[in-house]
Amino acid sequence: MKKNQKCFVEYFSDADMRDIHSATLEILKDTGSILHQRESIALLHQAGASVKNGNRVLIPGDLVASAIRSAPSAITVYDRNGKSAMLLEGRNVHFGTGSDCPNLLDSFTGERRRFLSNDIEDAVKLVDYLPHIDFTMSMGLAHDLAVELQYQKKYAIMIRNSTKPQVITAADRTALNDIADIAAAVVGGREALSKKPLFVLYDEPTSPLVHTKETLEKLLFMAENRLPINYSPGTMAGATSPVTMAGSITQANAEILTGLAIHQLKRPGAPFIFGAGMSPMDMQSMQPTYSSPEAMAEQAGLCQIGRCLYNLPTWGFGGCSAAKLADEQAINEAATYILMSGLMGTNLVHDVGYLEFGMTYSFDLLVMCDEFIGQAKRMIGGIRVDREHLAIDAIKRVGPGGHFLDDAHTFDHFRENWQPGLTDRQTYDNWKADGATTMGERAKAKIKYILKNHQPEPIPPDINAEIEMILQRAALR
């Protein structure tokens, strides 16, 4: 695990960030939020917040400041074997998939069809194999799984088919507790899970400025158990948030900081990740513009506020598209967002492989995005400058008119250059002789190869049996 970001972009000046923070505090103090969970209301009220009409909570600035101070600036997430896998701090960037798509664009039939549990198993195996995908999410809603056990059974599939860390979703606190039990069975108990968490919860308030009972109960559970949570509003500018980018960021910030205040009051120092899913609504199609320039700019600005102003780990998007197929539009939007998220220095970048605003998932896009992420990581990694890399001695050896092909310096360093897996660099004649394939065709061939040949590291039989007992107990509830 290493820091991987040297080159970056920033959208806001310090004055811009202070203005947005000031506007956020004004919203929290004067407008407030509606909370549908008694303990959360009580925590805020006891800490100095005002409560109107039973559940309209107005939060003072000093309470927000205290929460920001108490939240940790760095979070380590571990893999299934207890090895440090992701250090969430500063501008260290990690990429992963998305969750809960109802549909799958079948790589082999081209059909847009319902996601099934065996598709989730295949998806997680792909993630386990792909070198530049750092964490997994479920990617789909399995239509062959009972609604009551959807999230528990999906998590069992995830943890059985990849050693990589996870970002999870859960219907409610009960499902979340079952998932924590499964993870604890794998790592050796709840205390071990708290010390070395292998999953992050994705939790989402309802914009504008509403926090549901289920959402807050999950937030409190994660705080109690010292497990990392991303409390992420999903705003649509012009519909559920102001149409202006600064206004949408301000509202999302207010929603996040409300969650942070409750979270830190429940357990100061518990791990919290800052971020939101923001995209303007297209006023013609009435759909979110998932990878629009404005969506990327809003993500960049909010990420900068979380990192620079609040010193919190950050969350964002990349590798996703509004396109219906893994076509030229999808590649343009997904690759651009990946590079932007890398340049933003977002700690957790999710939704890689999403199509159709998250209604459809594509294995083809996932595999191509793994290639794009490799490129982006190399680009943002910067250029090393020291005597060895300045190559002064090599230049002197070769001299004017020579070549570097057989120089020792070339052999020592040529593997530092990024090597593609899908990108074609052959001559035209060689490319034609190899079948004249497109990148999409090569991606499908890679998917077939992975699903046929890759065997994830298995979980020991006794742990598998314990997971089954947890699922059976949940089914009898």
Residue written as token pair 């039939």: 109
CB 226 within 8 Å of CB 190 = no
Residues 291 and 208 in one domain: yes
- Tell whether 373 and 292 lie within a shared domain: yes
pLDDT digits (tens, 9 = 90+) for 262-305: 999 999 999 999 999 999 998 988 988 888 999 999 999 999 99
Structural domain tally of the chain?
A: 2
User: Do 159 and 279 lie in a common domain?
Assistant: yes
Is there a single domain that holds both residue 299 and residue 399?
no
Distance CA 315, CA 202 (A): 10
User: Are 258 and 394 members of one domain?
Assistant: no
228 and 341 assigned to the same domain = yes
- 372 has a pLDDT exceeding 90: yes
Average pLDDT of every residue of the chain: 97
Mean pLDDT of 204-220: 99
Residues 126 and 159 in one domain: yes
- Residue range(s) defining the domain that contains residue 404: 387-416
What local confidence, expressed as pLDDT, does residue 5 receive?
A: 59
Residue 274: CATH number of its domain: 3.20.20.480
In whole angstroms, what is the distance from residue 305 CA to residue 182 CA? 35
How many other CB atoms sit within 10 Å of the CB of residue 436?
A: 10
In a domain, 203, yes or no: yes
Look at residue 275 and tell me if it is in a domain: yes
CA distance 224 to 438: 50
Q: What is the pLDDT of residue 7?
A: 72
Are both 340 and 411 inside the same structural domain?
Answer: no
Give the model's pLDDT for residue 390.
Answer: 97
Do 278 and 412 lie in a common domain? no
215 in the same domain as 175: yes
| Residue 400 CB coordination number (10 Å) | 5
